[in-house]
Amino acid sequence: MKVLFEDSGFPLLDYELLLEEIDYKNLLKPSVMPFTELPTGNYLISIRETAERLQEKFSTLVVVGMGGSSRGAKALHQAVGKENSRLLFLDNIDPDLLSETLNRIDWDKTAFAFISKSGKTLETVSLMNVILEELKEKELLSGERIVFVGDRGNAFQELSEELKSPFLEIPEEIGGRFSVFTAVGLLPAYFAGYNVERFLEGAYDLIATPLPAFYIAASKYLHYKAGRKISVVMPYSSYMAEFTEWYAQLWAESLGKDGQGQTPLKAIGTSSQHSILQLFVDGPDDKFYQLFFINRRSSDLKLPEGAKVLPYIGGKTLGEIMRAEFEGTLYALRQKSRPVIRFELSQLSEYQMGYLFMAYMVAVVVMAKLMGVNPYGQPAVEIGKRYARQLLEEGRDGGMSQ
């Protein structure tokens, strides 16, 4: 993985001076960033063995979890597994999504992971209740087809004891959107057959050489201060769309506090060139850009030498055409002096995803330190949650029936 800062708008020295001010070398420790303590030993073994036991009997795992309790695994699954049918995600209470998913699964061959740190999330608990009832009606409710993941002592642990299902703990100090390297991300990853060791190695390598993550934070902060309140994330791959969702949650929930925040904006190359690029290049200079390019795709196709309509594409691969378009976007942004960080991924693999997840988790904590906000927790989300709960407790529908 190469992270390139030459178009980022400031010399590296400026980033270093800024980082010195916050004593950045002392930030990369478990008391500040608990997620940098990667799983090892018995904890890792118990996750792997749980996944292996599920694999023996089931071919699909339905992951039920919201936000940080599913986005990381979903992004990894899309990037590495190209969304094969080993994993399915229920991360919305949308009744259509639930019906469609439940109608298409082979119930005999399907296991379920209910993931909630708090064990109280309305959507997760609602979906779980529907699924447990379905399993009961189908006479398929058995502890071996279900796994619970959550904080020790939460309501899911109690339920796991009742159903005789495994319960995997999330270390208490690791918050939802920072939990991809715990059972939250690793159980689905093991089940799907991904190389978890390489995934962790990518994260480990970032921790061992963390400067790119610090520079990302410093650069984004200096541009934020200069009025660039929007941060664009634009991978040149359809299989990184879920990564942009993961990034959006991390950046928005961690920094959107006390009237501050940098709004994440998701785009996908090349498709978004035909929708939003005009704004990026010639609209207001209020954005910071993160572009990602993958050098080696799992498959590539070559056009015939005598290509029809556009002769200059003859004999080129789709990868080469995509590269040219990526360079075109970069060129256009450079012409307008728009700040860009570029990521060159050798391929879309477990290692690269592990590296990226860790880089952004470190970067967001450093950015929060620079901004003076607490990156952990999302207190404002509670306002709406409390109101929804009140409506449900009082048996009101919030005006739906008017």
Question: Nearest Cα to 147, choosing from 171, 179, 115, 125?
Answer: 115
Determine if 350 is a binding residue for ligand PA5 (CB under 6 A): no
Distance, in Å, from the CA atom of 64 to the CA atom of 47, rounded to the nearest integer, reads: 17
Distance, in Å, from the CA atom of 311 to the CA atom of 248, rounded to the nearest integer, reads: 40
Determine if 124 is a binding residue for ligand PA5 (CB under 6 A): yes
Kindly tell me which residue out of 74, 117, 220, 257 binds ligand PA5, with binding defined by CB under 6 A.
117
Please say which residue, 306 or 384, places its beta carbon nearer to ligand PA5: 384
CA torsion, ordered 242, 69, 375, 205, to nearest 10 deg: -70
- Exposure class string for 55-93: b at 16+ Cβ within 10 A, else e: beebebbbbbbbbbbbbbbbbbbbbbbeeeebbbbbbee
Distance, in Å, from the CA atom of 45 to the CA atom of 111, rounded to the nearest integer, reads: 20
Residues acting as catalytic residues: 253, 274, 385
Determine if 69 is a binding residue for ligand PA5 (CB under 6 A): yes
Kindly tell me which residue out of 18, 50, 60, 68 binds ligand PA5, with binding defined by CB under 6 A.
68
Q: Give the nearest distance from C-beta 169 to ligand PA5 in angstroms.
A: 13
Determine if 116 is a binding residue for ligand PA5 (CB under 6 A): yes
Distance, in Å, from the CA atom of 337 to the CA atom of 331, rounded to the nearest integer, reads: 10
Question: Nearest Cα to 246, choosing from 342, 173, 180, 345?
Answer: 180
Please say which residue, 178 or 215, places its beta carbon nearer to ligand PA5: 178
Determine if 242 is a binding residue for ligand PA5 (CB under 6 A): no
**Residue of minimal Cβ distance to ligand PA5:** 176
Q: Give the nearest distance from C-beta 390 to ligand PA5 in angstroms.
A: 18
Ranges within 271-310 binding ligand PA5 (CB under 6 A): none
Decide if 332 contacts 278 (C-beta within 8 A).
Answer: no
Q: Stretches 65-73, 213-221, 238-246, 273-281: which one binds ligand PA5 (CB under 6 A)? A: 65-73
Other Cβ atoms within 10 Å of 101 Cβ, number = 17
Q: Give the nearest distance from C-beta 148 to ligand PA5 in angstroms.
A: 12
Question: Do the strands 87-90 and 340-347 form a parallel or antiparallel pair, or are they unpaired?
Answer: unpaired
Determine if 176 is a binding residue for ligand PA5 (CB under 6 A): yes
Q: Stretches 67-75, 200-208, 281-289, 392-400: which one binds ligand PA5 (CB under 6 A)? A: 67-75
Is the sign of the CA dihedral 306, 307, 310, 316 positive or negative?
Answer: negative
Q: Stretches 43-51, 169-177, 198-206, 211-219: which one binds ligand PA5 (CB under 6 A)? A: 169-177
Please say which residue, 217 or 361, places its beta carbon nearer to ligand PA5: 361
Kindly tell me which residue out of 67, 202, 264, 339 binds ligand PA5, with binding defined by CB under 6 A.
67
Distance, in Å, from the CA atom of 303 to the CA atom of 27, rounded to the nearest integer, reads: 50
Kindly tell me which residue out of 177, 257, 338, 369 binds ligand PA5, with binding defined by CB under 6 A.
177
Please say which residue, 306 or 379, places its beta carbon nearer to ligand PA5: 379
Question: Nearest Cα to 169, choosing from 79, 64, 343, 44?
Answer: 44
User: How many binding residues for ligand PA5 (CB under 6 A)?
Assistant: 14
- Exposure class string for 357-373: b at 16+ Cβ within 10 A, else e: bbbbbbbbbbbbbbbeb
Q: Stretches 110-118, 201-209, 212-220, 287-295: which one binds ligand PA5 (CB under 6 A)? A: 110-118
Q: Give the nearest distance from C-beta 288 to ligand PA5 in angstroms.
A: 23
Please say which residue, 175 or 354, places its beta carbon nearer to ligand PA5: 175
Distance, in Å, from the CA atom of 48 to the CA atom of 46, rounded to the nearest integer, reads: 5
Determine if 66 is a binding residue for ligand PA5 (CB under 6 A): yes
Distance, in Å, from the CA atom of 125 to the CA atom of 66, rounded to the nearest integer, reads: 10
Please say which residue, 169 or 253, places its beta carbon nearer to ligand PA5: 253
One-letter amino acid for residue 3 of the chain: V
Determine if 235 is a binding residue for ligand PA5 (CB under 6 A): no
Q: Give the nearest distance from C-beta 73 to ligand PA5 in angstroms.
A: 12
Please say which residue, 248 or 313, places its beta carbon nearer to ligand PA5: 248
- Residue 270 preceded by cis peptide, ω within 30: yes
Q: Stretches 62-70, 96-104, 138-146, 343-351: which one binds ligand PA5 (CB under 6 A)? A: 62-70
The contact set with ligand PA5 (CB under 6 A) reads 66-69, 116-118, 121, 124, 175-177, 253, 378
